[in-house]
Structure 1
Amino acid sequence: MKALINRGAQACAILGLCVLSAPAFATNGYFANGYGGQSKGMAGAGVAVSTGVLGMAQNPATGVKVGNGAAFCLTTFAPNRDVTIQPGGPLTPGKFKSDNDVFMIPCGGANWALDDRSSLGVFVFANGGMNTEYKTNFFSGLGAGSAPLGVNLEQAFITVNYARKVGDRLTFGISPILAVQRFKATGLEAFSGLSIAPGNVTNRGHDWSTGVGVNLGLLFEASPQWTFGAAYRNKIQMSSFDKYRGLFAEGGDFDVPAMLTLGAAYTPARLPKLTITGEYQRIYYGSVNAIANTSAPPQGPLGASNGVGFGWKDVDVVRLAAIYRKNERLTLRTGISYSTKFTNNDEVVINTIAPATPQWHVSVGGSYKINDRWDFTFAYTHAFSNSITGSNPALTGVAQPVRLRMHQHEIATGLSYRW
């Protein structure tokens, strides 16, 4: 067992490096809409139903249901992002499309049944989404600006998961998390004069940040038909991005917001092949000053504790999904999700470097049992095109209209192995 756990930990460390080698993706703000192919096939649902090894990222309590197994997944993420700037101000008018529109994001892990009531797992998953690269620096009219213009945020979470059935119907799970993130910004010279540390705003290369957090989960099987799930991940206090202490509020502080998820799953007695699940999730972006501080007066200078931010609000996500077990080999999934608006119209200008606009997602997917050991999982998610239009005279001097727009395609595939 110890050798298996060591190999699993080594594999997760390698996966963590792979995750950080690829720009990450934006869906609900910059949080992924589910982890692993099973969850992604249900538009991110998974707190009240087991979705395999990676499903423990959503609810650690599902580990007992996963049993002995390992999984590897690969997501191909294709966002389409553009900014349209109207004439009449210092920003360069025109339509600008962000490059880097296909990303490959790996994830994976393993789980071991310690006995019939407890399990131990290790796995890696990712968040992110502030990845943009514009060939034209449309901020150059504010004073200066090199090309390309953009930012890149990458995050990996390396997790150990313990789950235990504490009663006939109730299971508890806990996941200590090591969070690693890196960030770089280019082309933001126009904002250096607004900073308490002008030399630490842009073009400093990658900087790294680490922190430790915990994810807690409960799974309550009320009856053969009804299951309820709940999970809470605390706000992860990250070390500061020192190279960008003049960009982010509180001297380069960029913590990972807390997240709460509640859900229920129903399997009709007369149709046991079908399970319907619904979820509510809240992401507390508003508690992280670097993200939540407004870009309008009376905010302080960049890098200060009350410094300019992106004006993000807490986001609420609602999901409805279904699982249909067609036969012993094939399981089909589908789902839809909606998230509330992440920011106000008067914050649009600063969010041109992080246009996380999609609100509606729809997903389809399934799993096919190749044999008694191996399963193949697939999922497709479409984030519908959504735009936000606004202006910020405090930054541009005049009310120059700016529109952000994004839509996304995502294909997730995975292999799982049972022993």
Structure 2
Amino acid sequence: MTTKNLSKFSIPFFLVALLLFVSQIQAQSNLAYGPRAKSMAGAGTAIVENSIWGNSNPGGQVFLGQKLGIGIEIAMPKASYFVAGEPTEFEQTQSSIWPLGIKTGGVDSENKVLVIPQIGFNMSLDDNNSIGISIYGNGNKGKEYAAKTYYSPVIADFGSSEGFINPMGTVSYPTFMKLNQYFAALSYSRKFGDKLGIGISLVGAWQSFSAGGLEAFGSLHYSEFPNELTNNETANSFGVGGKLGVQWNVSKKFQAGVAFRTKLYMTTMDEYKGLISESGKLDIPSEWSIGLVYHPFDRFLMALDMNRICHSGVPAWGLAMKQKGAVSLGGENGGGFGRTDQMTYKFGIQYSIPKWQFRVGYQYSDLTLVASEFLLNMMMPDVITDHVSFGFSRDIGEQNISFAIVKGFKKTATGFNVMDNAQFMDLTAQNLLFEVAVEF
């Protein structure tokens, strides 16, 4: 790489690196990375240009040549919950294990605009080998409610007396969970013949997590470590995993891509070992993607992807909140968010004219929440199943600028309170995001 090229890339690298360290990048999404992929609703595992963002398919990077991409996403998520059914009445002396029937009614989340920067860089070593570096993040997951969400009016009515401190007396607000994730991938890609590329990535991760307003789970003895359950500032964990990608340019009309990322093995967050299973071990689930691209004629292409996120491989994500008939959070064998593995199907098309490419896409995701696991997932209501997208790219000299807009349609899912079966709850979420990137 020439000194001139290094100079051209140095300033954008510095600016984005600085932005990454001062911004909060929020957690996981199915929409892939970069506006090219997002404008096709995440489809593009088999599109070479998408591999610049690292987490798409490292097998395609060897076909990419020398590239630097700088992007920024602006997301505007909204969420709310609604609880129906009065909490179950019971006698104070009835049992030492009391149900947690929460206050009825609806609450909207505190809506925040999220700024999510990312960068991708690819460098050719020779005609058959390349290396790349990517730094990126995912879309918002945690929510904040200006309410005492996990608060039982029935238990509060018991009052306090000598020798008895009411468990609801310590419940605070706002109620929230904040999960931030940052990723960096170092990739190597090699070409075999003219059509096949295989790439591997070392993926590093940094997670931060905080939660508040969950005191009731501790005071009612539903946590093994009640002092490490809630309101313990921000905990950090670090981890590593790997990714394998294959890009096969079958012909001028067909391309195929496959990518698999292992589970990212994270260090424990001791500050929340009373909430998170395996005493605070919140690993990041593995995932795989398969993509196909068809060019019926030169200016037009269609892309179809399938993606699976494997929550079942991580106890904190996959285990049900109730284990062996009882709720017990944290510790080595505590329950989790109870999520099923999630399949996502993505379809996008692109039409090109000189200097312009226009794209649209649609994505459908299986609902990963099951009805019995809504209570804890109120803090992370990932219920959106349908996304549509639009975007374009424009060549400007040697540079290319791309833009995407994605709408996650409003979705309401209904479940029940596993700690008081008389109560039902609706979780509602929607999202709107924009992304722009420049490639050099």
- TM-score (norm: length of structure 2): 0.88
2:42 is aligned to 44
1:112 is aligned to 123
1:348-363 → structure 2 map (5 Å cutoff): 348-363=374-389
Q: Secondary structure at the match of 1:213?
A: strand
Q: Secondary structure at the match of 1:57?
A: coil
Q: Secondary structure at the match of 1:43?
A: coil
Q: Secondary structure at the match of 1:412?
A: strand
Residue 329 (structure 2) pairs with residue 302 (structure 1): yes
Shift of residue 39, structure 1, vs aligned partner = 0.7
Shift of residue 252, structure 1, vs aligned partner = 0.2
Aligned partners of 2:119 and 2:31: how far apart in 1? 16
Q: Deviations over 1:33-67 (max 9, x none)?
A: 11011110110112111234544311001112321
1:373-388 → structure 2 map (5 Å cutoff): 373-388=398-413
1:414 is aligned to 437
Shift of residue 388, structure 1, vs aligned partner = 1.3
* Contact 1:318–1:338 under 8 Å retained in 2: yes
1:22 is aligned to 24
Partner AA of 1:17 in structure 2: F
Q: Secondary structure at the match of 2:145?
A: coil
Q: Secondary structure at the match of 1:251?
A: helix
Q: In structure 2, which of residues 399, 416, 427 is the aligned counterpart of residue 404 of structure 1?
A: 427
Aligned partners of 1:224 and 1:355: how far apart in 2? 42
Aligned partners of 1:106 and 1:79: how far apart in 2? 17
RMSD of Structure 2 on Structure 1 (CA): 2.0
2:264 is aligned to 236
Aligned partners of 1:405 and 1:300: how far apart in 2? 25
1:339 is aligned to 365
Partner AA of 1:374 in structure 2: Q
Residue 329 (structure 2) pairs with residue 315 (structure 1): no
Shift of residue 276, structure 1, vs aligned partner = 0.7
Say how many residue pairs are matched.
Answer: 405
Partner AA of 2:338 in structure 1: G
1:152 is aligned to 178
Q: Deviations over 1:220-274 (max 9, x none)?
A: 1111111110000001110011100111000000001111111111111xx2111
Partner AA of 1:385 in structure 2: K
* Contact 1:229–1:264 under 8 Å retained in 2: yes
Aligned partners of 1:12 and 1:160: how far apart in 2? 17
Aligned partners of 1:181 and 1:128: how far apart in 2? 14
Residue 78 (structure 2) pairs with residue 76 (structure 1): no
Aligned partners of 2:190 and 2:19: how far apart in 1? 26
Partner AA of 1:204 in structure 2: N
1:212 is aligned to 240
Aligned partners of 2:254 and 2:196: how far apart in 1? 13
Post-superposition, which runs of at least 4 consecutive aligned residues in structure 1 deviate over 4 A? 1-13
* Contact 2:321–2:327 under 8 Å retained in 1: no
2:164 is aligned to none
Shift of residue 100, structure 1, vs aligned partner = 3.1
Aligned partners of 1:150 and 1:162: how far apart in 2? 39
1:253 is aligned to 281
Q: Secondary structure at the match of 2:378?
A: helix
User: Any gaps of 5 or more consecutive residues in structure 1?
Assistant: none
Q: Secondary structure at the match of 2:411?
A: strand
* Contact 2:52–2:122 under 8 Å retained in 1: no
User: Any gaps of 5 or more consecutive residues in structure 2?
Assistant: 88-100, 156-166
- TM-score (norm: length of structure 1): 0.92
Partner AA of 2:310 in structure 1: Y
Aligned partners of 2:16 and 2:203: how far apart in 1? 12
Shift of residue 157, structure 1, vs aligned partner = 0.7
Aligned partners of 1:80 and 1:206: how far apart in 2? 23
2:143 is aligned to 132
State the identity %: 30
1:174/1:297 CA distance change after superposition, 3 Å: closer
Higher CA-based Rg: 2
1:180 is aligned to 206
1:231/1:180 CA distance change after superposition, 3 Å: same
Shift of residue 195, structure 1, vs aligned partner = 1.1
Q: Secondary structure at the match of 1:62?
A: helix
